[in-house]
Structure 1
Amino acid sequence: MTPPSLFRHRNFMLLFGADTISQVGTQISMLALPLVAVLALGASEFETGLLVAAETVAFLLVGLPAGVWVDRMRRRRILITADLVRAALLASVPITWWLGALTLPHLYGVALGMGLATVFFDIAYQSYLPSLVGRDQLVDGNAKLEIVRSAAGVAGPGAGGGLIQVLTAPVAVLADAVSFLGSALFLWRIDAAEQTPDPAERRGLLKEIGEGLRFVATHRILRMIAASTATANFTGGMLAAVEMIFLTRVLGLSPGAIGLLFSAAALGGLTGAAIVGTVVRRAGTARIIWLSILATGPFMLLVPLSGPGWGTSLFAIGMFMHGVGVVLYNVSQVSFRQSVTPEHMLGRMNATMRFVVWGTLPLGGLAGGVLGELFGARTTLWISVALGLLAVVPLLLSPLRTMRDLPAPQEVGA
């Protein structure tokens, strides 16, 4: 029997609405914070790399214990608290700018605090969805939420670039602060029953962290997905450290033009989200995980080939195809992770995966900042995209290479 559409599912639609509001604002801040550093504070390549690292180092600092805490607490409450914290942090940027007190250390502090809140939000969010919609609708739910993220990515950077150009980058950050308040309001209205975990079942922080690590490390598919994603994110951190420098100082683009380029990348994600159901059915649930990277990864070689004028189209094409591949990959592998993990282990599984795959982002950001200082932005982009092509290797060395479809949950083991 076909389950009812999630668009008729009240609580999912509230989550959908919260995600929509938050994602649009986040896209604005993704442009605004680095541009505040580069344009308002004159940050160098290395200083911009530190900002990228500060945004993501929280996954290394608290990623594993956060998974235990998410499994011990009501997840909706964690989501709301994280949204409120992020709203307050972002609001401090325009306030200090208006007072003439904005500094790079303040931006680093905001980025670090945002990262800490995001760790808890992301782990709780991916752990909350299965109980909200049921595991038979995970692919559909993840695909719809990816459409939100990608659609916001299409509209957000273009709107954000124009907003930054008119109002300046620090003021544009305020839009994201407001968006997190709106997201918290939608989450507060969700009325799905959520059982509070029994405190008597707690076995100690380190022991529970170890259970999450072992679950991923001994799983024949999850560990290869972790290795592949970690490689891709490390090289993505390298790229993020220098791309604003490249676009503003090498290509000479305005914030509005940069916003349009990022919209092209997000349009690729929207395309991927729209076709993921059809592609998965035709290619297979296992095959699409590695095929999505293998087919779209080489297009990223167009990014460092970009130049002024018409040459910016190469950047747009490369990022568009990258967006398609990332969404196809993420919807497939995240849905699989959620489906094979027991309810009581979801927080720790997601935390372990996030610790590994997002923990490489700050390392990549630092590496990109150092390489940018030594060799320049364009050379660093070449190194980043070349290394990024290796992300598919762990998947091709895994059982996925010979499988068309992923096995049923009860068939998957160590």
Structure 2
Amino acid sequence: MRDPDFRRLFAATALGQLGDRVIFLALPLVAIAALDAGEFQVGLLTAMTTAGSLLVGLPAGAWVDRMRKRSVMVGADFVRALVLLTIPVAWWLDLLTIWWLCAAALVHGVLTVFFDVAYVSYLPHLVGRGNLVEGNSKLSAIRSVTSISGPAVAGPLIGWVGAPVTLVASSAGMAMSGLIAIGIRKRERKPEPSASERPRLGRDIKEGLKFVLKRPVLRAVMLGDAIFNLFLIMYQTMLLVFLERRIGLESFGIGLILSGMGCGALLGALVAAGVSRRIGQGRVIWLASLVTCPLTVLMPLARPGWSLYVAAIGLAALSLGGVVRFVAQASLQQALTPDRLLGRMSATARFVSWGGIPLGGVLGGASGSVFGSAATLWIGAAGMTVSALPAFLSPLRTMRELPEGKDAEPVR
């Protein structure tokens, strides 16, 4: 935190994530409350939000590796701000439909892919490889703080001015994030390929895939993430529907539940580095999921009253375990990857890990329509728990320290 450039990245992250957390609550509530969307339409909206990982997941890494990461982050922030601003404008003009929402969510999601790939690739350059765990922990901490404050602010704001207008706050957060990131002084050199290695998209994508898929540790992390994210999105797609229609919560109450999840995420960020040191950076990746994911079954068992508060604690535990796991595996992936492949590693990991998220949104909506929101929460809880298996069955089961030597070298 004594590094002024890291402080700027920290502040930009805080504002961008605050905008994202408002979107997380406001966008589905625009569909549910303002447009009276059905369960399947809510699932389709969720799918569009994350479809960018499938559409541009792999080429994004190759493109980002040819550009300055900071410039990609700034550009993505500004364009996302404009896209979000179209939703309240369309609402004011009485033009807003579920298809408009889906289109805005899709464009926003594609831009988020580019931002996230650049962001993950930029951190080792900014803080150095020896500080990755600390850097990831601090950035996870601020993301967790915004997970608390975002829904806590968004809930009352939605109740006061309505979900569409609340998205103006998200747009402003994205724009301010981009403005602060412009001030980061530590610049990268623009990657310059040698004359004998002219950029070729197909070859670059293949090299990134080969690097990731030939390493058992990275494969296990990605497969576990893919399973977890698929069922998490199924769960989250019906969570707001369950809370609003089965429990009878209004936007303020839903915001409090999501803020509780943010509290768990903040605690996870604070303890992540210490837990990794004590348990081992490899073992904590599967243990975090195995211990916390089963607690999510408390939500479909909940009813208005004390059982809902207990279920909210289970969601907070899920967030705690998720952040501990994220810090450990993100630091592992960054440490194992050469600088020139960071963008492609990040994009490949995102493509594999997040590729099933749109499917999860559609399956969540379809399951909610057929079986109901409570049954879908049960399915999601079971699937998230199973996601610990790939890491448990890999070298991560006993790994305490990062691999060294040939495992950190690129594969050609």
TM-score by length of 1: 0.96
Q: Tell me, what secondary structure is at the counterpart of 2:33?
A: helix
Deviations 1:296-331 (A, max 9, x none): 121112121121122211331111100110000000
Distance 2:362 2:112 in 1: 20
Q: Tell me, what secondary structure is at the counterpart of 2:223?
A: helix
Q: Is contact 1:287–1:405 with CA below 8 Å preserved after alignment?
A: no
Q: Tell me, what secondary structure is at the counterpart of 1:380?
A: helix
Percentage identity across paired residues of the two chains:
45
Q: Tell me, what secondary structure is at the counterpart of 1:405?
A: coil
Q: CA deviation at 1:277?
A: 1.7
Equivalent position of 1:94 in the other structure: 88
Q: CA deviation at 1:65?
A: 0.3
Distance 1:286 1:382 in 2: 28
Alignment equivalent of 1:404, drawn from 396, 400, 409? 400
Cα pair distance change 1:412/1:127, threshold 3 Å: closer
Distance 2:154 2:319 in 1: 19
Alignment equivalent of 1:76, drawn from 70, 73, 79? 70
Q: How does 1:22-61 map to 2 (within 5 A)?
A: 22-61=16-55
Alignment equivalent of 2:59, drawn from 42, 59, 65? 65
Q: Tell me, what secondary structure is at the counterpart of 1:308?
A: coil
Equivalent position of 1:3 in the other structure: none
Deviations 1:242-298 (A, max 9, x none): 111111001100100000000001100000001112111211112111111122121
Q: Is contact 2:336–2:407 with CA below 8 Å preserved after alignment?
A: no
Equivalent position of 2:99 in the other structure: 105
Equivalent position of 2:218 in the other structure: 222
Distance 2:308 2:198 in 1: 54
TM-score by length of 2: 0.97
Tell me whether 1:149 sits opposite 2:143 in the alignment. yes
Equivalent position of 2:261 in the other structure: 265
Alignment equivalent of 1:292, drawn from 288, 295, 305? 288
Distance 2:388 2:405 in 1: 24
Distance 1:401 1:186 in 2: 41
With 126-135 and 314-323 compared, the bigger mean Cα shift is at 314-323
Q: CA deviation at 1:168?
A: 0.5
Distance 1:20 1:56 in 2: 21
Counterpart residue identity of residue 351, structure 2: F
Q: Which runs of 5+ in 1 are unaligned?
A: 1-6
Tell me whether 1:164 sits opposite 2:158 in the alignment. yes
Equivalent position of 2:368 in the other structure: 372
Counterpart residue identity of residue 44, structure 1: G
Tell me whether 1:14 sits opposite 2:13 in the alignment. no
Q: Is contact 1:32–1:170 with CA below 8 Å preserved after alignment?
A: yes
Alignment equivalent of 2:309, drawn from 309, 313, 316? 313
Alignment equivalent of 2:278, drawn from 252, 276, 282? 282
Alignment equivalent of 1:173, drawn from 152, 167, 172? 167
Deviations 1:176-223 (A, max 9, x none): 000011000111011112111114443411111011111111011000
Q: Which runs of 5+ in 2 are unaligned?
A: none
Count of aligned residue pairs for this structure pair: 408
Q: CA deviation at 1:408?
A: 3.0
Q: CA deviation at 1:410?
A: 4.7
Q: Is contact 2:132–2:331 with CA below 8 Å preserved after alignment?
A: yes
